[in-house]
Amino acid sequence: MVYKATISDPFRQPICDRCAGNRGIEYTTKPGTPIIAGASGFVIFSGVVANTNYLVIKTAGGKRLTYGSILNSDLHIGSSVVVGQIVGTTSNMLYFGVRESSALGDIYVDPAKYLNQNNQFLSRAVLISGASTGFDLVDSGDRDSAC
């Protein structure tokens, strides 16, 4: 995630699988902004869809976190990801989506239900100011429990 970014297009649940909507949240960002992993897991997709770079991380809880409009990422399928890790950098925006498993298959859910006001996954983590990326995460517990 990126912290304190402006939402440019909120989640809009489509009425059917192929219907219009926004299956995630889009943020306006400054190009090169670090993207921070919201949860630990492993990369299940890293590539281009419709001329847009995407990275999908599957969490231990089975959720799929999708980061889109990525400018740069060194991760590939199978890479392990740790919560708070920089997984890439943004272009001038960032798409973030969450999919949950259900009896009907994966469904898109509003990512906002997992985020606090600083776009952090809900957990016992604390955000502190840092020199390297502007923000560092101090983890005081297992953040995967939220995912």
* Structural domain boundaries enclosing 46: 6-146
Residue that is written with structure tokens 């990275």 in the block = 55
Per-residue pLDDT of the chain (147 residues; tens, 9 = 90+): 555 677 888 888 877 777 777 788 888 888 998 998 988 999 999 999 999 999 999 998 889 999 999 999 999 999 999 988 999 999 999 999 998 888 888 888 888 887 766 665 554 333 333 333 333 333 334 444 445
Helices (H), 8-133: none
Report the CATH number that the domain containing residue 118 is assigned in CATH.
2.70.70.10
β-pairing, 135-138 vs 126-129, is antiparallel
Quickly count: other Cβ atoms within 10 Å of residue 138's Cβ: 11
In a domain, 25, yes or no: yes
Quickly count: other Cβ atoms within 10 Å of residue 57's Cβ: 26
Question: What total number of domains does the chain contain?
Answer: 1
In a domain, 1, yes or no: no
Question: How many whole angstroms separate alpha carbon 133 and alpha carbon 71?
Answer: 16
